[in-house]
Structure formats: structure tokens, C-alpha cells
A and B are shown apart, each in its own frame.
Chain A
Amino acid sequence: MPNKRRGNTPPKEVLEELFTTAYRIRNFETEGIKLYRQGLVRGYFHPYLGQEGIATGACTALEERDYIASTHRGHGHCIAQGANVDGMVAELLQKKSGYCKGYGGSMHIADISKNNLGANGIVGASTPLGVGAALANQIRGSDAVTIAFSTDGASNNGTFLESLNLAAIWNLNFILIIENNQYAVSTTLAEATRETELYKRGEAIGVESHRIDGNDSLVVYETVTDAVKKCRSGLGPILIEAVTFRHSGHHVNDPGKYMPEEKLKYYKDRDPVDRARDNFIKMGKASAEEVATIEAKIGSEFEAAVAAAKSADEVSIQEFREFVEGY
């Protein structure tokens, strides 16, 4: 995997943010799965475990005015775009205090106030929706950039190329990130397409395209930072294929037995959270104590969110009926 890291050392604050965000996502997923096993979370839960480097690096490169569109595996994007875990845990526990008041759940989680167009249960939907946000921003004269997180699976959906093509002919501030975790549920990328280097699809329609190591949040951060700059100077859209691997099956009830052990080990040895921590310690000269303080804070913030969510109210049937009046 070409590791196009810049030579210079990034500021400590950036390394700290990358580690903090990656760890917060990791903690949310591991603790969230425990809640699922306890029966507190129902429905689908697609963990972002193993892919944390991508949302972390990409969203850290964005400004407040920028937008994202997420996938069915959307907890990581939501956290990286600035949502707090209180609203997210409450949403998983189907409470009124959740970001979507319990109407959306894991698969539709979104903090709209942070310019997140939401997680989406339809694989591939983020691409046209993200292009739409980029178009609205161009029309209103904003230089805001929109990132659509997509997947290798979604790249075989028709709207993938259609939408990227629209972004290209309109020179939109749009970045399409393919999180290539090498599986569409259980179907390997090699079974799904003859050309497995997906970034080439962008080049085929005149879009600047890159293929990077998605397990290094710093590489993702630097690549997306450059892409954002290019977009703001009128050189968008840009396609980034970030190669990664899930740590488990498609969702919490998929043991992922089809994933070869040696490949899993290869990627676990390149764990994105460990690498963000290493970067923070080695390049950022962070002490073990600093790291421990961050981890402890994130752990207790999650516990507090669970405690608050457990005692929170649910939307009543009466409120629901009023909410959909006129539907």
C-alpha cells in the first residue's frame, strides 16, 4: 500500500485529535456491542471496528461549515464529525433524547446540526446525497466541502459513477471516499469486480483519484487536507480509495467466518487506533499519562451516556401519531 505520508511532523494538537477521535469510536463500538449483547440495543448494528482511521482522518481535515454523508456503518462518521456520545447512545437505546429521538437508530444516526446528512441503510445512497449537498453549497456561494463516505460494495451501484460524474461536470467541492474494506457483506471485492483498484474508476471520468492506506488516520488526514484545499480552489471533485479491513463480520450477528485469519491478523497488526496512539506518542511526544487520561475520560463519558440514556424517556405513541400527522 503506497503510504504517501508527508515528511514533516504534524502539530501535536492534530495528533491528539486523531488519537482521541479514533479511540472514542473504538470505545463506542466495543462498549456499544456489549450493550447489544445485553439486549439494550435492538435492530442492526454495523461496527466500524478496524476502519476508524478513515472517518477520523477525514473529518479532522474538515471545518465546521463542511458536510459529510455517511453509510450504514455510520457511528464512526457521526462521532468524527463532532456528535456527542450522549445523543448517540440514547439513540441506540431508542430514547427521545437520542439524536433522532429513537426514530432512526444505529442505521440512520445523524447529528444534523453538525452538517451530517446521516447514516443510511441503502448502500450507495451517500454518493448522490453528498453531491446534492455540494451542489447546494456551490449555488449559495459557499466554499464548503462535502465528503461522501462510500464503500467498495457501493462502488458497484449505478449511482456511484453517475453522481461522481455530475460532481465532475459541475466542478463541485466534493470528495468521495471509498472505504474499501474488501467485502460487500461476505462477497469479496475480487468476486464483485475485475478491477479491484477502485480509484481507477475516478480517473476514467476525469476525476483526480488516490489510493491510500486507510488504517493510518494521519495519512487519511493529510490526503483529505490536500483534497479539501484543492476543492476550495476549484479543483474538485476528488476520489480517495482508502484501503482497510473490518475487525469482525458485517454486523454484530455475523461471525465473519469467511474472513481469512491471516488477512485479519495482517490488518489487526496495523490497527488504526494503535497507530493513532503510536503517532501521538512518537511524533507528538505525548506521555503515557496523557494517553491514559484521554482514554479514561472517553471511558467515563460513555458510561455517563449509558446511565443517562437508561433513565431517559421514549417518544410516546401519542407523540408519534402527532409527528406523522399528514403523512
Chain B
Amino acid sequence: MSGRELMYREALREALFEEMARDDEIFIIGEGIAERGGSYKVTEGLLDKYGAARVRDTPISEASMIGVGVGAAIAGGRPIVEILYVDFAMLGMDMIVNQAAKFRLMTGGSGRVPFVLRTQGGTGGGVAAQHSQSLEALFYHIPGLRVVMPSTPVDAKGLLKFALRQPNPVMFLEHKHLYMTKGDVPEGELITEFGVADIKREGSDVTLIAWSNMVPRTLEAAKELADMGISAEVLDPRTLVPLDREAILKSVAKTNRCVIVQEAVRRGGIASDISSIIQEEAFYSLDAPVQIVAGMNTPIPFNLTLEEASVPQKDDVIAAVQSVLHSKAA
């Protein structure tokens, strides 16, 4: 450990600074990202360092901004399109789903789309139904996209740098609650490949799978569980596409129990898919049914108490762990 601490947003910013220095083709467009430095200060200073050609503010034209990014990528550029909220990416779904995700296949592999869409989602203290969603399952469902959801500063940096060096369209989904969180980020080159899960805490009694902002929450739960004498392993897939199935199956084979924690609504979610993978491939190592702790099937309400009730909290995770531990296998 270097002992150097950065905030999540600073780690992202460092990745952008380093990669833009390395590759002249990288540019970034978005609303209020140039002069203002972005709503979360991730792009602060980029305009001064890399100039107005490569760091551009856009009008409020999400569908076309995303399309322009996809077109630039097809033409050999390295665009990053920042969308303020993942909710707003819905305006550009044609470009994400019908263009970016399909272009390589439709051209038989001769066309590539090295396109990175950076955005953020999740509940965040009363920003209500149209600014609080966790929509990763929509992108997860579309073959051809990569879906990345870092939970720590070090992962945010390493994964963003890798995103800017690989040839596929990437949905890089940050979380509004994580920008101010701190963590160790070693100095020097740091690249984190896609498809490699990270064990955030080792344990032997139960595997807890979580991503994005559910990771710190699940780690808190694991800490309390430890006080209760329960050893929980916390696995963060870091990228949902590609998904590190091997790491998941290995952990479940060790602990024989699994709880999946997802902020997104339960219905049609990624947790359900991971659960189906586990039951299909690790059924005989399970001592209890896999449990899913997920968001309610609801738009996020403004009222803070109700907002909190709509997404998994620490105590929900603890209760689910207790339930799988008390469940007796036949």
C-alpha cells in the first residue's frame, strides 16, 4: 500500500488526465464538463490542460451527444460522453442499443466502437424518481455492451483506464454517493482489466455479492456480522459484463451460501441472473437457497424515509445472511 488516499471522483479525474496525455484521440463531451468541470468535478482542469477541442460542453441533446460519440468511435476516435444522470441516457437508447452495441457484429468485425459513456446513477438523498435510478440491467441485457460499476477509488481509476484502451462500447456507471468516498490509490500506472472480480473482504460462512454503492453498505453489514461471529466474504464483480463467473462459483463453493445485494429494482435484475448462474452451476455446493436483497419494484419516491425503504440497507443484508445461515440443507 502506498498510503495515498484519493476520493472516487479524484481517482476518475486522474485516470482521465493520464489517458488523455497518453492518447491524443481521446476527447470528452458533456453538459457543463468543460468550464464548470462537471457536476461532480470529475473533469475539473481538463479544459485548461487539454484545450477546447478535446474538452467540450454540449447543448442539452443527449440522444445526439451519445450518437456523436458512437460515430466518432466508429471513425477511429476515442470519445468519452458524459451524461449527467443515467436516467438521461434513456434519451440516447437508440444509439446505445441499436448502434454502439451492434456495429461490430453488423459489420462482421471490420467496424469497432471504442466508445465510453460515463454516467452516474443510484439514490442520493431526495433527488426523486427521474434522477435516482439504477439502470444497469437495461445495458446488461444488450449483447455487445460492456457494463462497468466501480465501487472504490482504486477500481474507478483502473477500470476507466482500461475502458479507454479496449475496443468495445462501455457503459461506465458511477454512483452519486461514491464520488466523495476515499480509498487507497497507489501512485503510478494502474490498469484493471474487465471481467475480474475483487474480493473486498474474505470470509468463510457466506458469500455476499454486491457492486457499486452496495459494496460499502455490504462491507458494513459484514463487519457487524463478524461481531456476531459470522464470517462473510464480500465479492465485487466490478464489471457486470463481462462477469467473472469463475470467481463467483469459487467463492460459493467455499462458503456454500450466497446473498446477492443490488440497489436496482428486483424485477428483471442482474441479481436474478447471477442467482440463476449459481443454481445452474453450483447447485450441489449450496446449503441454502440463494437470497436476493434488491430494490423494491417502484420508482424512487422523494420522501427520504420512503427513498431509504426502496433500496437495500445494511440491516436488510444482515437479515438475509441470518436467513441463509439458518436455512438447513436437506
A113 at interface by CB-CB < 8 Å: yes
B38 at interface by CB-CB < 8 Å: no
Asked if A110 meets B107 with Cβ closer than 8 Å, knowing A132-B69, A133-B72, A327-B143, the reply is yes
B27 at interface by CB-CB < 8 Å: yes
Asked if A132 meets B107 with Cβ closer than 8 Å, knowing A125-B99, A158-B63, A163-B67, the reply is no
A280 at interface by CB-CB < 8 Å: no
> Which residues in chain B, 52-80, are within 8 Å of chain A measured between CB atoms?
53-54, 56, 58-59, 61, 63-77, 79
Residue from the list A104, A131, A139, A158 in contact with B71, Cβ < 8 A: A131
Residue from the list A108, A122, A162, A326 in contact with B107, Cβ < 8 A: A108
- Tell me whether A162 and B63 are in contact (CB under 8 A): yes
Q: How many A-B residue pairs have CB under 8 A?
A: 145
Residue from the list B25, B71, B98, B107 in contact with A103, Cβ < 8 A: B107
Q: How far is the CB of A81 from chain B (nearest CB, A)?
A: 14
A 173-213 binary contact with B (CB < 8 Å = 1; else 0) = 00000000000000000000000000000000000000000
Asked if A136 meets B63 with Cβ closer than 8 Å, knowing A99-B110, A102-B108, the reply is no
> Which residues in chain A, 121-173, are within 8 Å of chain B measured between CB atoms?
121-122, 125, 127-133, 135-140, 146, 158-159, 162-163, 165-166, 169-170
Q: Which residues of B contact A108 (CB under 8 A)?
A: 106-107
- Tell me whether B99 and A122 are in contact (CB under 8 A): yes
Query: Which of A112, A133, A136 has the most B CB atoms < 10 Å from its CB?
Result: A136
Q: Which residues of A contact B229 (CB under 8 A)?
A: none
A69 at interface by CB-CB < 8 Å: yes
A236 at interface by CB-CB < 8 Å: no
A41 at interface by CB-CB < 8 Å: no
Cα–Cα distance between A125 and B111 once the two chains are bound (Å): 16
Asked if A135 meets B109 with Cβ closer than 8 Å, knowing A122-B99, A125-B95, the reply is no
Q: Interface residue count for B (Cβ, 8 Å)?
A: 41
- Tell me whether A125 and B72 are in contact (CB under 8 A): no
- Tell me whether B70 and A122 are in contact (CB under 8 A): no
Asked if A327 meets B144 with Cβ closer than 8 Å, knowing A137-B75, A140-B77, A166-B64, the reply is yes
A53 at interface by CB-CB < 8 Å: no
- Tell me whether A112 and B105 are in contact (CB under 8 A): no
> Which residues in chain B, 226-261, are within 8 Å of chain A measured between CB atoms?
242
A76 at interface by CB-CB < 8 Å: no
- Tell me whether A136 and B79 are in contact (CB under 8 A): yes
Q: Closest A residue to B66 by CB, please name it.
A: A128
Q: How far is the CB of A11 from chain B (nearest CB, A)?
A: 31
Q: Beyond the given A135-B77, A163-B61, please list 11 additional residue pairs across the A-B interface where CB-CB is below 8 A.
A: A101-B109, A103-B106, A104-B105, A117-B75, A122-B94, A131-B64, A132-B67, A133-B72, A138-B53, A159-B63, A166-B61
Where the two chains meet, the residues of B that have a C-beta atom closer than 8 Å to any C-beta of A are: 24-25, 27, 53-54, 56, 58-59, 61, 63-77, 79, 94-95, 98-99, 103, 105-111, 143-144, 195, 242
